[in-house]
């Protein structure tokens, strides 16, 4: 069985990767709560010597988290992937890195791999700078850019569908469009990326965008509270993904 070093292993995507890929991969999990602070460690000290595959899911993954802890966010979202990408390139390890649709500002959809990225948030900037550094330091690396993740992750932070079904989310934007992407199917796609030699940016998401309100309605099937999205969040992040992640 191939061995995988997985950062962000306790997060939404990391947990799902552990669950979905357990039969195919022997996974070495890494997380902050597991005792590894990636903002103050070098890849050579973090990645076990015998492991040839690395998947980077560690992130300060929310706009509010990045504003609260900007230095940590810059270190984890920008500097860590830059260092990890260079290390994987120098040591011939396969590297797959996670990106987000929030690198776009939401003004000129649909977005493809060729669309210019100009983020509208500090979170988006930390992620975009990380993506650019990964591409530059490790041209063989694969950068998987996706949209808002939905499905049962069971992590400390919740997915949008978990928020809807638990009643935590009560008001839904009518004018904010994303490609709500199934987290389990995305995890399985990441396994394919790890095995393949594909390089560069890949947009991987469900093929169509919906408003957050339409998505919530599709789950709850009852009247919901509709609100306009505030101006400081991107309104239309519709992706035209080259890799279709199926809905379950
Ligand atoms: N969630 C989405 O809807 C979404 C959408 C598009 C793209 N993405 C991208 O997908 C990736 C995974 O996101 P996610 O939603 O799974 O994130 P998440 O649920 O917030 O998980 C973040 C992970 O990073 C770890 N971490 C945080 N600070 C750390 C540090 N200083 N040192 C080491 N590890 C640290 C956390 O560990 P602890 O749990 O121990 O704190 C946790 O395992 C990110 O690159 C994100 O940008 C996510």
Residue 56 CB burial class (10 angstroms; 0-12, 13-18, ≥19): buried
Which among 165, 210, 205, 202 is positioned nearest to 186, based on CA atoms?
Answer: 205
Q: What backbone torsions phi and psi does residue 142 show, to the nearest 5 degrees?
A: -115, 130
Indicate the pLDDT class of residue 107, thresholds 50, 70 and 90: confident
Residue 125 inside a domain? The answer is yes
pLDDT in tens, 193-214: 999 999 999 999 999 999 999 9
Distance 164 CA to ligand 1 centre (A): 20
**Closest C-alpha to ligand 1, atom 19:** 11
Q: What is the mean pLDDT of residues 127-135?
A: 98
Asked if 61 and 33 touch (Cβ cutoff 8 Å), the reply is no
Q: 101 CA to middle of ligand 1, Å? A: 15
List the CATH number of the domain containing 78: 3.40.50.720
Domain count, the chain: 1
**Residue 156 falls inside a structural domain:** no
Q: Is residue 232 part of a domain?
A: no
Residue nearest to atom 45 of ligand 1 (CA): 98
* Mean predicted confidence (pLDDT) in 13-41: 98
Spacing, Cα 60 to ligand 1 middle (Å):
6
Position 23 in a domain: yes
Q: What is the pLDDT of residue 219?
A: 97
Domain that holds residue 121: 2-150+179-206
Atom of ligand 1 nearest to the CA of 62: 20
pLDDT digits (tens, 9 = 90+) for 30-85: 999 999 999 999 999 999 999 999 999 999 999 999 999 999 999 999 999 999 99
For residue 32, report the distance from its CA to the centre of ligand 1, in Å: 10
Q: Whose CA is nearest to atom 10 of ligand 1?
A: 98
CA distance 88 to 100: 21
Q: Reply yes or no on whether the pLDDT at 149 is more than 90.
A: yes
Q: Is residue 115 part of a domain?
A: yes
The ligand 1 atom at the shortest distance from the C-alpha of residue 65 is 20
Residue 91 lies inside a defined structural domain of this protein: yes
Average pLDDT (125-149) is 98
The whole-angstrom separation of Cα 179 and Cα 109 is 12
- Residue 248 pLDDT greater than 80, yes or no: no
Q: How far is CA 144 from CA 98, 193, 232, in A?
A: 5, 9, 25
- Nearest CA residue ID for atom 1, ligand 1: 149
Residue 229 lies in a domain: no
In whole angstroms, give the CA distance from residue 192 to residue 114.
22
What's the whole-model pTM score? Answer: 0.98
Distance 153 CA to ligand 1 centre (A): 12
Q: Which residues line ligand 1 (CB under 6 A)?
A: 8-14, 31-33, 36-39, 57-59, 61, 76, 98, 100, 127, 146, 148-149, 155-157
In a domain, 224, yes or no: no
């Amino acid at each position: 069985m191939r061995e995988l070093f997985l950062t962000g292993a306790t997060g939404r995507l990391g947990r799902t990767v552990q669950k979905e890929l357990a039969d195919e991969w022997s996974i070495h999990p890494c997380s902050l709560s597991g005792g590894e602070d990636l903002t103050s460690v070098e890849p050579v000290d973090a990645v076990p010597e015998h492991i040839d595959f690395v998947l980077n899911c560690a992130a300060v993954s929310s706009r509010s988290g990045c504003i609260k802890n900007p230095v940590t966010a810059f270190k984890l979202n920008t500097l860590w992937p830059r260092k990890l990408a260079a290390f994987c390139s120098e040591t011939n390890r396969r590297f797959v890195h996670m990106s987000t649709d929030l690198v776009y500002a939401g003004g000129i959809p649909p977005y493809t791999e060729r669309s210019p990225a100009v983020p509208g948030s500090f979170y988006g900037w930390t992620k975009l700078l990380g993506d650019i550094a990964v591409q530059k330091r490790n041209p063989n690396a694969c950068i998987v850019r996706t949209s808002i993740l939905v499905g049962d992750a069971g992590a400390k932070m919740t997915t949008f569908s978990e928020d809807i079904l638990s009643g935590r989310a009560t008001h839904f934007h009518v004018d904010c469009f994303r490609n709500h992407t199934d987290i389990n199917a995305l995890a399985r796609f990441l396994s394919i990326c790890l095995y393949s030699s594909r390089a560069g940016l890949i947009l991987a998401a469900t093929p169509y965008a919906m408003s957050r309100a339409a998505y919530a309605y599709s789950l709850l099937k009852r009247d919901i509270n509709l609100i306009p999205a505030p101006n400081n969040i991107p309104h239309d992040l519709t992706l035209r993904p080259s890799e279709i992640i199926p809905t379950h």
